[in-house]
Amino acid sequence: MVDFDVGYSVDQPSTWSRFKESLCHGCSANCCTMPVEVKASDLVRLGLLSEDETLTSLKKPAQRLIREGFVKSFRASTGLFMLEQKSDRSCVFLDSQRRCTVYEKRPEVCRLFPVYVGPKVGYCPAKRLSTQSTNRGAASGSNRKNNWGSNNSNSPKT
């Protein structure tokens, strides 16, 4: 049986559950509602940025990615891009079944959270998936957050 923390809040790491991989199989992927900062290399892997574009100023491609709806903001001082979020705060790459649509190419931070990075390393905002809201047999999914299992990420997960 899984121990989801019913009193959790994504914004309050003190309420999070101690992470274990089994939690991801029935979870609504709340970690994917946290702000996600990614590097240019992540965007190259995602096919959103070309290698050539990384050789000069990133400001121009950042403006393009903002226009295209993939990126919310860019910090020139760190070279980090904040991924766009939907109105419910979920990541632009999270689908209606609460699955990552770019799992194989997901950003590095998404591979590291919460085991190696995050506001509270080793803990995450696990919340049981509502079958009513997702209309999907079980979130058990192969492709869901099991992903996060060994390597997860999300937040300025850092």
- Interacting residues toward ligand SF4 by CB under 6 A: 19, 23-24, 27, 29-32, 36, 91, 93-94, 100, 102, 106-107, 110, 114, 124-126, 145, 148, 152, 154
CA distance linking residue 56 with residue 89, whole number of Å? 31
Q: In terms of CB distance, is 60 or 69 closer to ligand SF4?
A: 69
Query: Closest approach of Cβ 20 to ligand SF4, in Å?
Result: 8
141 within 8 A of 147, measured Cβ to Cβ = no
DSSP state of 4: -
Q: Return the number of other C-beta atoms located less than 10 Å from residue 99's C-beta.
A: 20
Q: Is 135 left (phi over 0), alpha (psi -120 to 50) or beta?
A: left
Antiparallel, parallel or unpaired: β 37-38 and 80-83? antiparallel
Query: Closest approach of Cβ 121 to ligand SF4, in Å?
Result: 12
Q: In terms of CB distance, is 36 or 58 closer to ligand SF4?
A: 36
Query: Closest approach of Cβ 76 to ligand SF4, in Å?
Result: 22
Query: Closest approach of Cβ 28 to ligand SF4, in Å?
Result: 7
